[in-house]
Amino acid sequence: MNEILFLKSIFQKGMTSEKSEHETTYHFRVKKREYTLTCSKNYPFEIPKISSHLKEE
Contacts of 33 (CB under 8 A, 6+ apart): 52, 53, 54, 55
- At residue 12, the pLDDT reads 59
Length, in residues, of the chain: 57
The H or E element containing residue 5 is helix 2-10
- Tens-of-pLDDT digits for all 57 residues of the chain? 566 676 666 665 677 788 888 888 888 887 788 888 888 888 767 788 888 888 776
Instruction: Evaluate whether 22 touches 40 at the Cβ level (below 8 Å).
Output: yes
Measured CA to CA, the distance from residue 10 to residue 30 in angstroms comes to 10
- At residue 13, the pLDDT reads 61
User: Domain locations in the chain?
Assistant: 2-54
- At residue 57, the pLDDT reads 62
- At residue 49, the pLDDT reads 85
